[in-house]
Amino acid sequence: MTTKKRNRNLEKNYSPDNIEQKWYSKWIEAGLFNAEINPEAKAFSIVIPPPNVTGSLHVGHAFDHTFQDIMCRTKRMEGYSVLWLPGTDHAGIATQNVVEKDLAKKGISRYDLGREEFVKKVWEWKKIYGSRIIEQMKRLGNSCDWRRERFTLDEGLSKAVRAVFVRLYKKGLIYRGKYIVNWCPRCSTAISDLEVEYSEEQGKFYYVRYPLIDDDGYILVATTRPETIPGDVALAVHPRSEKYKNLIGKNVRVPLSDRIIPVIEDNMVDPDLGTGCLKITPAHAPDDFLIGLKHNLEQIQVIDSQGIMNEKAGKYKGMKIEDARREFVKDLEEAGLLEKTETITHSVGHCQRCGTTVEPYLSEQWFVKTKPLAERGVQAVKDGRIKWVPEQWEKTYFNWMENIRDWCISRQLWWGHRIPAWICKDCGHITVAENDPTECEHCHSKNINQESDVLDTWFSSALWPFSTMGWPDDKPELKYFYPTSLMVTGFDIIFFWVARMIMMGLEFMDDVPFRDVYIHSLIRDEHGKKMSKTKGNVIDPLVMIDKYGADALRMTLAALSVQGRDILLSSTRIETYRFFMNKLWNASRFALMNLDDEVHEIDINQLHMHDKFILTRTQEMASKVRELIDSYDIGTAARMLYDFVWGDVCDWYLEMSKPALKGDEGEERRKTTAGVLEEVFKTTLPLLHPFIPFVTEELWEAFGYGDEFIMKTSWPNPKSEYIFEGINEKMRILQDSVRTLRNLRAEAHVAPQQWLNKAVIRVNSDTETAKILTASLNQIENLCRVHDVILESLETVWTYGASLSSVTGDAEIKLPVGGVLDVEKEISRLKQEIETITKNINSSQARLNKADFVARAPAEVVEKERSKVSEGTAQIERLKANLESLSK
RNA sequence: GGGCGGAUAGUUCAGCGGUAGAACACCUGCUUUACACGCAGGGGGUCGUAGGUUCGAACCCUGCUUCGCCCACCA
């Protein structure tokens, strides 16, 4: 005989406040999140998508983390050795911008401080905000191995970044060159194609005349950027353009200047766009740049890195782009060179971080040659080495990877991994090395300077799955936990991050970075709007945790999670799940009030139908929830648990167990019922634990199981001795009868607490229904608050006087009401009921009348229709008999 | 220009081939000793639209309407 130390003094209402903090500290103390290399166990690993150190955790993170935590906790319970590796991202531009903004408040610019001082300031910022984010993760309940926390700019990762850079460079997969890049004049740095966000905007097409040399007339060119005309070096037309064929090879004069430029042909020109003639400005437009290279044209830069016109722009020097444009157009007009303007909508690129209009800018930059890397990445998914969930994202991935362009990785910033390249002032040679060189590797001059640019922040993120585990050193962690099992992230960073991790993982580990990648939807507000600080519709997870508790927030996010649809979150939703915590708490409180210290065995022979029902359902939950979680469907799992606890356990089982627990059914029944209750909670709490870790741990202890943390228990295996075939269907008959009788009570306006004297259930005595109901009469009396429920055959002569009647299945349920029956109302109710059933019979009959249906539909479907007809017909007969007796 | 996703009760969403479900909101009645963070009951939907496949369609296929997202070098 075992006994447990139960805590029967639970507060009446659940309060998460102290409980969550308490358990989190205990878990940490006990080292329960620590990932250990255990050759005996299978590994399960996740590296966290490192949040930016720029701010605080938002509800999107909370969702992301809840999902990962549910996976990790479940896998631990399933016996895996689990690593959930946490960390944060230095977030290059984003962080530099916030710190700069912060400094600007004090009137300081980064140039005032100088590079070294400024970077020091950012590190100070990182210290404060980075640790704040970590604290927030802990409040959520994240079961990360904090001993292994990493930062994308820490020493180990810097080593990895350098190693990767050098190896890619030596392999020819990183190159440096002067190209047109996307340039943010405000951030004063190059950005990658992905960091440009396009939006449709109103703009103007200026139709400009380029006077022909040696000929009368002019060529008309449509441009949106007249201020770049001083940078023009040619006009281009399509080689097969009828309109311009004979102008190829002629020369024109650049408007408002003396420069003469040629008319060339190039098939990149779209003859149907604008006037069909394109002005070529290689320094300020990507296409023009390519055409310029092809035709060996000069690159004349007229706008500088700050978006200001330079000396090549002549009189416009010093003007901002917009001002220069206005002035230039005015001058064109005065010179009679502007034919017309036309309003158009075109898409304009903006800097992802600051919204400034992006300029195509010619500059010296570093690039990753992505094609060869991408090919392997595509192959890995095609081979099934990486699985996308939901699968649809595979297409998006392929589409991008198959059309990938080289990745501009250099940033003219101060915060980030400085590019490990040293440029020799004497011979110009570039030395790329993992360790700081002291001399030029080519001419051995000591006169070398390190490249001042830093790397795109995503460059270091791309290495995250292996750099965090000690690469390039040969660490046992790498062997054991790499490839990681799962990557959980949003679709917004599939290209930025997921694709690049795949490429880098394959290149440097020769294996995929993760087996499965789960892409979840975005969290929006209750109206479907994207949450943003400016809109003021942000739901702060920390505020929600303070208000409702972390468990409630987690359960909400889990239950709302659906594949392929945005998630709309509101605080009333969280409230619903907050109520669920209380429900679970009180159900447990009830159980504890009725459990002895002694743990009672379940005597199978003592079980009633509802005991068998709840035992069976409990075992079903153990296997179903596990299956759902293993297939990443945590939404269904959470909702199923919610319904099970609230519906099956609380609404039905706890109510039905009351008489036995009170001792009304004898001591043996009391003990067995206690045993069932114990089994239900001992199994269900662990199933709930991954979703709501805190409250389940607290209850686990209250039940007296606290010698071992619930976190450390194994996932419950369904026990076959507690699975009773067909019990759910049997239970349904009881439930339907109860519902029908309760409905009659409500019809009769009987107050819920009032006990009625008598109710009658009439059913043929040799039926299954009769058998089930006979065994459950006490339960029905109890659940419906009727002192005496009488079961009698349908043939028995009716002797109980005026009554309300209804039917369910093959039973008729009657509630005698003495002389107070409202006959009129009862008649119309019965008629209504007859009508509904008749409609159902008719639709079933109509189907059965079709030969095709009977011939082609599966036998069981046909049989179901037949029984619906026969049962319905019988029900109508009974209802009609009741009607008749009323009409008399 | 390509691609993807959504359109189901007042609202937010499940369901994805066999007679429409949940939560919230709403209505009726309740201090039923686990829980008013609750209990019991109820009203409310021709499942965007037009066709097709099928014995049978909210569910599969095709067009259309509509909302949203992503990609692409419209000068």
C1' of B15 to CA of A71 (Å): 25
Tokens 């990895």 belong to residue? A160
Q: What's at A604, amino acid-wise?
A: I
Distance A225 CA to B32 C1' (A): 79
Task: Give the CA count within 13 Å in the CB-facing half-sphere of A279.
Answer: 30
Chain centre distance of CA A520: 3
Distance A250 CA to B56 C1' (A): 74
Per CA to C1' distance, which residue is closest to B33? Answer: A590
CA of A443 to C1' of B44 (A): 85
Predicted ipTM of the assembly: 0.94
For the purposes of burial, counting CB atoms within 10 Å of the CB of A413, is it exposed (0-12), middle (13-18) or buried (19 or more)?
buried
Residue nearest to nucleotide B3 (CA to C1'): A396
**Residue nearest the C1' of B55 (CA based):** A853
Phi-psi region of A338 (alpha: psi -120 to 50; beta: other; left: phi over 0): beta
CA of A565 to C1' of B50 (A): 27
Q: Taking Cα atoms as reference points, which of A314, A174, A173, A182 lies closest to residue A254?
A: A314
Whose C1' is closest to the CA of A564: which nucleotide? Answer: B5
pLDDT means over runs of 10, chain A (888 residues): 84 90 95 94 96 84 92 96 96 89 90 92 92 92 96 94 96 92 89 87 87 85 90 87 81 88 86 83 89 88 88 86 89 87 84 86 92 92 90 87 91 94 91 92 90 94 96 93 94 91 96 93 71 68 91 91 73 89 94 92 93 94 92 90 93 93 91 95 96 96 92 94 91 91 86 85 91 91 91 89 86 84 83 85 86 86 88 89 80
| CA A141 – CA A156 distance, rounded (Å) | 27
Separation in Å: B62 C1' and A564 CA = 23
Give nearest nucleotide to A287 (CA–C1').
B73
How many Å does it take to go from CA A395 to C1' B69? 15
Tell me the CA–C1' distance in angstroms for A676 and B54: 47
CA of A94 to C1' of B68 (A): 27
Q: Which nucleotide is nearest to A862 (CA to C1')?
A: B18
Q: Determine the residue type at A170.
A: K
Kindly state the tokens that stand for A137. Answer: 């993760």
Q: How high is the pLDDT of residue A533? A: 61
Nucleotide B7 C1' to residue A391 CA (A):
22
Angle between helix A59-77 and A609-630 (nearest 10): 110
pLDDT tens-digit profile of A85-135? 999 999 988 899 889 889 989 999 899 999 999 999 999 999 999 899 999
Three-state secondary structure call for residue A213: coil
Which nucleotide shows the minimum CA-to-C1' distance to residue A400?
B71
Find the nucleotide nearest A223 (Cα to C1′): B75
Residue nearest to nucleotide B13 (CA to C1'): A560
Note the helical H segments in A703-849: 727-747, 768-775, 777-784, 823-849
Through-space separation of residue A53 CA and nucleotide B59 C1' in angstroms: 45
Q: Which two tokens stand for residue A257?
A: 């200047």
CB neighbours (10 Å) of residue A86? 26
Positions on chain B within 7 A of a protein C-beta: 3-6, 11-15, 18-19, 22-24, 28-32, 34-42, 54-56, 69-75
Å: A860 CA to B50 C1':
34
* CA nearest neighbour of A57 among A28, A36, A33, A86: A86
**Which protein residue's Cα is closest to nucleotide B14 at C1'?**
A636
What long-range pairs does A837-844 form, CB within 8 A, spacing at least 24? A837/A807, A837/A872, A837/A875, A837/A876, A837/A879, A838/A872, A838/A876, A840/A868, A840/A872, A841/A868, A841/A869, A841/A872, A841/A873, A841/A876, A844/A868, A844/A869, A844/A872
Distance A567 CA to B68 C1' (A): 13
Distance A559 CA to B42 C1' (A): 27
Distance B73 C1' – A285 CA (angstroms): 9
Which nucleotide C1' is nearest A851 CA? B55
Q: Which nucleotide is nearest to A200 (CA to C1')?
A: B74
Q: Is A21 exposed, middle or buried (0-12, 13-18, 19+ CB in 10 A)?
A: middle
- Whole-number pLDDT of residue A822: 79
Residue nearest to nucleotide B5 (CA to C1'): A564
This prediction has a pTM of 0.92
Q: Which nucleotide is nearest to A592 (CA to C1')?
A: B34
In the structure encoding, which two tokens stand for residue A799, read together? 């002797």
**Class of residue A195 by CB neighbours under 10 A (exposed 0-12, middle 13-18, buried 19+):** buried
Nucleotide nearest to A582 (CA to C1'): B37
The residue that minimises its CA distance to C1' of B18 is A861
Residue nearest to nucleotide B67 (CA to C1'): A528
- Which nucleotide is nearest to A754 if distance is taken from CA to C1'? B32
Q: Which residues of A538-550 are buried (b: 16+ CB within 10 A; e: fewer)?
A: ebebbebbeebbb
- Model confidence over A249-291: pLDDT tens digits? 888 888 888 888 888 888 888 877 778 888 999 988 888 898 8
Nucleotide nearest to A581 (CA to C1'): B37
Gap from A784 CA to B36 C1', Å: 21
Sequence-ordered strand ranges (E) for A119-195: 150-151, 174-184, 189-191
pLDDT of residue A203: 83
Residue nearest to nucleotide B71 (CA to C1'): A400
Question: Which nucleotide C1' is nearest A651 CA?
Answer: B39
Cα angle for residues A150, A154, A156 (degrees, 5° grid): 85
**Phi and psi (nearest 5°) for A174?**
-125, 130
Report the distance from CA of residue A68 to the C1' of nucleotide B56 in Å, as an integer: 42
**Nucleotide at minimal C1' distance from the A844 CA:** B19
Query: Is the sign of the CA dihedral A320, A323, A327, A332 positive or negative?
Result: positive
Closest residue to B31 (CA to C1') is A753
Token reading at A311: 């000396």
